[in-house]
Amino acid sequence: MAMAKNRQIWTWFEGRWQEGNVPIMGSADHGTWLGTMVFDGARWFDGVTPDLDRHCARVNHSAAALGLKPPMATGEIVELASEGCKKFSGRTALYIRPMAWSTEAGPMTVDADPDSTRFALCIEEASLAPPDASTTLTTTRFIRPTLASATVNAKASCLYPNNARMLKEAQEKGFSNAICCDALGNVAETATANIWMVKNGEYFTPIPNGTFLNGITRQRLIKLLRDKGEKVWETTLTPDDFRAADEIFLSGNYNKVTPATRFEERDYEHGPKTKLARELYWEWSGA
């Protein structure tokens, strides 16, 4: 879902809040030309910030995975984000994005100097998808990398061009998003979110295998559904499993729970188990 133009933005950088899309990187910064930037994304809507602390903790884990210094204690990032959200009117949902990157190279140039880690927090207006929003899916020839070939244990900006070309391929085929696989041909996620399927009244989602992030919203849904008595299986799944599913939906921070109404040539209903997952999340969030 595209962000609206002329949206309000507040950015915390160099110790103070500044309004707008503030420049934060130089042309010779290590993060600019060698891609050592990590980020995370949390949400504010209806007065709540679900799992904000976990998103703030993850940006620090991502920084460490790229050889950077965690830029700020998790609690401090949470407090900063809460402060920034108060600068908005409260009429539009917000996207909370803490970021860290290096400005200087390490001894071998390609590596980052951890002592040069910088931090910024950008908060911007970004509406949630409407309750009736859905997506359509296809497959893609591009795959998720492994930890041996990329920094998949971090929410790293350098990973996203791979996702973008998945989306472009899907859109050229007439679909909104793509189910992507790992190197063994098993489903990992979609180009933008974790993926779920329902079969015979039970929930299934790919087991984290080191090729994709075990999403915070994904983890939250697993707990909520199991606490409700639902059967949830984290397991190895193939595209054919999804072709035979009764329901398919996506989970992610940006839009939380999104049903898929089509996968390739087959249509799917926005079914009761998908609706239950969404209802449980909204009930838990307190929105």
Q: Where in the chain is the domain with CATH 3.20.10.10?
A: 135-285
In this prediction, residue 131 carries a pLDDT of 87
CATH code that applies to domain 135-285: 3.20.10.10
In this prediction, residue 7 carries a pLDDT of 86
For the domain made up of 9-125, the CATH class stated in words is alpha beta
In this prediction, residue 26 carries a pLDDT of 95
Asked if 137 and 250 touch (Cβ cutoff 8 Å), the reply is no
| Low pLDDT (below 70) residues in the chain | 1-6, 287
In this prediction, residue 272 carries a pLDDT of 98
Q: Where in the chain is the domain with CATH 3.30.470.10?
A: 9-125
Q: What is the pTM of this model?
A: 0.94
Q: What are the pLDDT digits (tens) for 73-119? A: 999 999 999 999 999 999 999 999 999 999 999 999 999 999 999 99
In this prediction, residue 287 carries a pLDDT of 63
